[in-house]
Structure 1
């Protein structure tokens, strides 16, 4: 059965959400209010899956989490995007907690209270650590004052907490990379409409602005060991945690969207055997590439060359997603395109993976350096 293994994982990890997604039509979910998806994620989607069991979380492996994202992507693309931003942030923070032990309190709260966490990170911006930020940070007697914005920011109106990279320069001129945390009810956090296209609109991706947001020292986490105590090969280990997790979960989510088109094509019994075989080959190849990346994450491989492999995997999957969706679209045929709105919606939605950082052009030098 198509996506059978992914479906089993979904019903094992989030049975109530999986049942709800199967019972609803894709377009009904995609064109509904974003709060419906956010509430579903918060109440029956287990936001603490990526948190360790020692912190009351699910302790789910990267392999299982990627399979879950693929299955959700096939049933509700906007929810898969929401989950990508939340889970890559929480999983990255979980992995970085060895560098930032004080942040474990936030992780426990996510698991205990089912908090939704928005991502305000650079998310793999080329030639910059993921914790680097364009936001202005000023140290005061009461904590840190943060100004700046993040757009698009998924779950703009529905997050409980938002994490963001900080780039603080102390009075001695030394730069400190770290993680700041803000909370939804703070009056210094403003939301502004940004996303205007209909595709993936239910993911609630708009602009979040920080206007003199005061972050107490207890909610600002700086690493004292990342980079400056590591050798050249390991440089960036702590910062790469977030980027590698992001490439895995984003790729898995969009592969799910392409899989939804492939499922329609295969069930239509149209197309030549060659076309159908090529479709299945790309699906299998992309699935196994993501499985290999997930296994490396579960083995705690987060060095520079691992980031390069993660980026290369993402671009390979991105190309496969494009081929899968295009071939499936052609097999399904023009009559289905004219009579089934989901077909056209999914075709466009799969292309959005190309717009997530980091870009292929910006990564070329790094990939050649690390992989050649």
Structure 2
């Protein structure tokens, strides 16, 4: 697999995070991790986003992957604890390779076919975009077994040095530059049986492991965008406090119109921030059934698209200075637009919430029935 550029911001940042125990953040202390709560992880992701949003998104894929393994161990009490311990003690960075062309953000399906061989599987396919994949130690991915069986979707954790893996530098988005979300090409990659730690049915899964994992993904991702919005709010209030308006001596902050408009944005921001904290606390406390917490997490994720609108509103309050190529607020606006496409998208969230309300089977994709995609 091609190596990432060594002397870079992301390389230095990853090394610094590793030195301070970030890679083992949610890993229980019994397995040499930091034992951080979901709430603490969200707070850290929000702060990391204020330093660099792309870096936070890239590292969040590591956090999500560790969260999946953690939930597997919590629910199954199996040997997945060894993976957690290895990540924490060896400071292993995990790339999450679930995105594929044409999947629309679904993580319960795959176009990467895994053929059964002695001792494991041989998988071929393309994963993109895959954050920090070029500098990862391990890769968490899903694939579909060609065997005729019900639990045909496999989730594995494989070494990034596995033969047949190639990273193609394809990331060219207008924002989230440091997420390094490139393309992973798999050509006859061997995946040993003991590295497959989760199996389920493609397209449908109400297993607590998947449900809690999806909660991890939604709440930590939203925390990042809340961090972006918080930094943009700070920039805006500082600008309004010093910028004159209409050629006079009064600052923008002294006008009721600016105060009211800013207050409306703060109102929406606080609503999301508090909702994020509540979902994180619910995940930590585990007092409610996983499906109940998931419903709140999906509602949070869906509502978080408002951050993209809020960024535009903040830019309008600041005026033309925020439209410049070198404007820090413009850079944050570009980063924040990714919330519109970050899975699970609002369309998927709404369908899942609707099906849950109707008591129907939960699908993590825009299909009427799982069989529609299996045919």
Please indicate the TM-score interval, normalised by the length of the shorter structure: 0.7 to 0.9
Q: What is the RMSD computed on CA atoms of the aligned residues?
A: 2.6
Which SS does the other structure have where 1:163 is aligned?
strand
Deviation, structure 1 residue 175: 2.8
Q: Distance in 2 between matches of 1:177 and 1:101?
A: 19
Q: Deviation at 1:371? A: 4.1
Q: Among 56, 59, 63, which residue is 1:87 paired with?
A: 63
Q: Give structure 2 stretches of 5+ with no counterpart.
A: 1-7, 242-251, 359-375
- Contact preservation (8 Å) 1:149, 1:208: yes
* 2:119 corresponds to which of 142, 146, 163: 142
1:333-372 matches, within 5 Å, as: 333-338=319-324, 340-371=326-357
* C-alpha displacement of 1:254: 1.1
Q: Distance in 2 between matches of 1:117 and 1:216?
A: 18
User: Residues of 2 paired with 1:100 and 1:209: CA distance?
Assistant: 33
Structure 1 338/198 Cα, relative in aligned 2: closer, same or farther at 3 Å? closer
SS at structure 2 position matched to 1:137:
strand
Determine the C-alpha separation between the residues in 2 that align with 1:133 and 1:104: 26
Q: What is the match of residue 13 of structure 2? A: 37
Using the TM superposition, give the Cα deviation of residue 324 of structure 1 relative to its aligned residue in structure 2, in angstroms.
2.7
Q: Structure 2 residue aligned with 1:299, among 278, 285, 297?
A: 285
- What is aligned with 2:208? 237
Give, in whole Å, the separation in 2 of the partners of 1:264 and 1:351. Answer: 18
Partners of 1:204 and 1:188 lie apart in 2 by: 20
Distance change in 2, residues 1:235/1:335 (3 Å): closer
Relative distance call for 1:261 and 1:239 in structure 2 (3 A) is: same
Partner residue in 1 for 2:235: 264
Deviation of the 1:198 alpha carbon = 4.5
Preserved CA contact (<8 Å) 2:144 2:153 = yes
Structure 2 matches for 1:55-66, cutoff 5 A?
A: 55-66=31-42
**CA gap 1:222/1:354 in 2 versus in 1, 3 angstroms:** same
Aligned equivalent of 2:156, options 167, 180, 188? 180
Any idea what the Cα deviations from partners look like across 1:144-163, whole Å, max 9, x if unmatched? 11111210000021110001
Q: Report deviation, 1:314.
A: 0.8
Bigger CA radius of gyration:
2
Equivalent residue, structure 2, for 1:249:
220
Residue 368 of structure 2 is matched in structure 1 by: none
Question: In 1, distance between residues paired with 2:213 and 2:99?
Answer: 10
Matches within 5 A, 1:193-208: 193-208=169-184
Report the TM-score when normalising by structure 2.
0.81
Structure 1, unmatched stretches of 5+, are: 1-31
Instruction: Compute the displacement of 1:63 (Å).
Output: 0.8
1:2-13 aligned at under 5 Å gives the runs none
CA distance in 2, matches of 1:199, 1:302: 37
Q: Bigger shift: 285-294 or 173-182?
A: 173-182
Query: For the residues of structure 1 that align with 2:230 and 2:323, how far apart are their CA atoms?
Result: 17
> In structure 1, how many angstroms separate the alpha carbons of the residues matched to 2:105 and 2:170?
26
Residue 244 of structure 2 corresponds to: none
Match of 1:219 among 195, 198, 206: 195
Q: Which moved more, 1:83-92 or 1:32-41?
A: 32-41
Deviations for 1:273-310, whole angstroms, at most 9, x for unmatched residues? Answer: 21222222122111101011101211235633432321
Q: CA–CA distance in 2 between the matches of 1:37 and 1:302?
A: 37
Cα deviation per residue 1:134-174 (whole Å; 9 max; x = unaligned)? 22112211321111121000002111000112333545x33
CA contact (8 A) 1:169 1:175 kept: no
Alignment partner, residue 298 of structure 2: 311
Aligned residues: 331
Going from structure 1 to structure 2, the CA distance change for 1:115 and 1:273 (only over 3 Å counts) comes to same
Question: Tell me, what secondary structure is at the counterpart of 2:167?
Answer: strand
